Amino acid sequence: MNFHQAPTIYVGQVHLKAQNLDRTIAFYTQIIGFKVLEQTANTAVFTADGKTPLLTVEQPEHVKPLNHRDTGLYHFALLLPSRPLLAKALIHLANSQYPLQGASDHYVSEAIYLADPDGNGIEIYADRPADTWKWNNGEVDMATVALNVQDLLAEDDGTPWQGLPAGTVLGHIHLQVSELEKIEEYYVKGLGLDVVTRYGRQALFISDNGYHHHIGLNTWNSLGGSAPAENSVGLSWYTLVLPSEEVKNQMINQLKAINASIYEEEGKLFTNDPSGNKIWLVVNS
C-alpha cells in the first residue's frame, strides 16, 4: 500500500523559518538535493520532482535563532523510493562532508539524520516492505539500533548522484510538544489518527491506515515548553492532506467537539495542536 496518497491522511508539506535564505537555499539544493520551484525576496519553495512543493522556507524580519526547548519541529522526514537510493544519498552526504547526526535502523525503516544550518532537524529514510513490519496488539515494533552502513552501501549501483529522486515524499513529521495527554486527545479524537507506538510517557507515534508513523510527538527536550515566537527559526506550519471534503468536514466536527482551535487565514483552513504546532488542512486534489 502507498501510505502517502488517498485514501490515507498524510503529511504533504512543511514550512520553516530560517535566519539566512541564501544560505538555506544553498544547503537544501547542494546538500539535500532539492530543486527550487519558486523564489521571492524572502521565501523559497523546494521540490523533488519539479512540480510538487515539499518544503517552503522563509526568512522573517528580525528573525530569532532556534530555541531547542520550545515546542515545534523535532525533524521532518524525506522518504526515498528505495533502499538503493538511500545508499546513494548517504554516499553523497559523505562526499559533501556535511556533518551527520546519526544513522539508524528502526526495523520498519533505515534512516540518516542531520540538521540544516539553522538547526532544523532532517531525516532521510527508506522504508522496509510493509509486510515485514511486526505488529503486536495494534502497535508496530520500532526501535533505534545502529544502521548497518556497509550493508546499505552495497546497494549502490555506482551511478552519479542526481539530487533527490522524483518519487521523494514527506514521509512523516516529528514534533516537540509540551505534554502528551492533551496532545493524544487532539491527534486521535480531533484528527482521527491512530496511536501505533508509545515510548513510555515521553513519545507517541501516530498514523493513518496502518503506516508506521505519519507524525511523531515527543517531550524529550520540550516538556512544559512554550510555543516559539512568531519570528523564531523553526516550524511555521505543516500540511495534513485529506482524501476528500467529507473527511475534512468530519475532521472539523471532531476538532470542534474537543474545543480545538480551527480557523481560516487567507482562505486556508488551519488548526493548532495543544502545543501550538500549526497545521494546514488540505484536501487532495
pLDDT tens digits, 145-190: 999 999 999 999 999 999 999 999 999 999 999 999 999 999 999 9
pLDDT at position 147, please? Answer: 97
Q: Is the pLDDT of residue 130 over 70?
A: yes
Ordered domains of the chain (ranges, CATH):
10-283 (3.10.180.10)
Q: 111-148 b/e with 16+ CB inside 10 Å = b?
A: bbbbbbbbebbbbbbbbeeeeebeeeeeebebeeeebe
CA distance 231 to 229: 5
Mean pLDDT of the chain: 96
Say if residue 1's pLDDT is above 90.
Answer: no
Q: What percent of the chain has pLDDT over 70?
A: 100
Mean pLDDT of 113-125: 97
pLDDT-derived band at 95, boundaries 50, 70, 90? very high
Burial class (CB in 10 A: 0-12, 13-18, 19+), 211: buried
- Mean pLDDT confidence for 1-7: 90
**Whole-prediction pTM value?**
0.97
Closest by CA to 121, choosing from 133, 112, 109, 113, is 113
| All residues at 6 or more sequence positions from 255 whose CB lies less than 8 Å from its CB, including other chains | 190, 191, 261, 262, 271
Q: State yes or no: pLDDT of 285 exceeds 80.
A: no
